[in-house]
Amino acid sequence: MASRLAPPRTAGTYVRRLVVVVYLFLLVIWPVALVVQKTFEGGLDNLQTALSDPVVTDALQLTVVVALWAVAINTVFGVGISLLLVRYEFPGRGVLSALIDLPLSVSPVVVGLALLLAYGGTNGTFGPALEDAGLQIAFATPGIVMATAFVSLPLVIREIVPVLQEIGTEQEQAATSLGAGPWQTFRRITLPSIKWALVYGVVLSLARALGEFGAVKIVSGNIAQQTQTATLVVEQKYQDFEKGSAYATSFLLALIAVAALVVVTILRPKDDTDGH
């Protein structure tokens, strides 16, 4: 953006650059590199051991299923609530807008506790009634999906809302006045303009969903090959001194998350935030 006339570089420029690079190297780059290195210490052995272990593969499968459900729910909910918050006037809108952010500031452990208090099979407020009706939430997949959806709930909304505010309603109004129905207006006008924000929000949610640990640990009951997700396997394998498998599983989780981020960074048109 404003790099018309780069200011002269002084000694301070280099000192600042050095401090930042060293800080990030010690805090993030080196530790992450070490985990990658440890994963591949014996060639592909660690990955092969991990991927032939049914405990790990079942957990990975569960994680993917749960993450997809949570992301799908959050996408539909997120787009809907963003449109309502930006385009409509209703009592309590400001409060709702503030409350939407709440999940980001709640400890995962508290999320787990809250869901357990509501949907726990024996003491939960709704749990026993739901189980009588044949729906088990706590210590089963629905509970894990809910915990995951909870922690990643605001991510799509936070990306879409500013874009919706920015684009305004003129085009939508024009489409409506030309006879387009609400669905047609949304699909032809609104969706294309929020596309990138939506993709970015979805990727952030996916990364968060794949990596959730604390809330899932409490709600799932952590039963191997049944309700154990990939992050829970990492903990268990590490504590069981199967460090190779722990590193390999971590590596796979990190790979998906970081790859998704990098892909979106590359795909996303660089108009708003990047300086060049």
Question: In the range 201-230, which residues lie near other proteins by CB under 8 A?
Answer: 204, 207, 210-214, 217-218, 230
Binding region for other proteins (CB under 8 A) out of 40-48, 49-57, 119-127, 186-194: 119-127
- The answer to whether 234 and 59 have CB atoms below 8 angstroms apart is no
Site for other proteins in 148-187 (CB under 8 A): 149-150, 153-155, 157-159, 161-162, 165-170, 173, 182
The reply on whether position 42 binds other proteins by CB under 8 A is: no
Residue nearer to other proteins on the CB measure, 221 or 226:
221
As a whole number of angstroms, the distance between CA 56 and CA 235 comes to 12
Residue nearer to other proteins on the CB measure, 26 or 191:
26
- The answer to whether 249 and 56 have CB atoms below 8 angstroms apart is yes
Residue nearer to other proteins on the CB measure, 42 or 80:
80
Residue nearer to other proteins on the CB measure, 48 or 125:
125
As a whole number of angstroms, the distance between CA 49 and CA 169 comes to 55
As a whole number of angstroms, the distance between CA 21 and CA 266 comes to 22
Report CA 139 to chain centroid distance, whole Å.
21
What is the length of the chain? 276
The reply on whether position 55 binds other proteins by CB under 8 A is: no
The correct pick among 67, 100, 144, 189 for binding other proteins (CB under 8 A) is 100
The reply on whether position 88 binds other proteins by CB under 8 A is: yes
Nearest-approach distance from CB 136 to other proteins, in angstroms: 16
The correct pick among 106, 180, 199, 224 for binding other proteins (CB under 8 A) is 106
The reply on whether position 86 binds other proteins by CB under 8 A is: yes
As a whole number of angstroms, the distance between CA 269 and CA 271 comes to 6
The correct pick among 68, 114, 180, 199 for binding other proteins (CB under 8 A) is 114
Binding region for other proteins (CB under 8 A) out of 46-54, 128-136, 186-194, 261-269: 261-269
Query: Considering only CA atoms, which of 151, 164, 233 is closest in space to residue 197?
Result: 164
- The answer to whether 136 and 121 have CB atoms below 8 angstroms apart is yes
- The answer to whether 231 and 216 have CB atoms below 8 angstroms apart is yes
CB count, 10 Å around CB of 186? 16
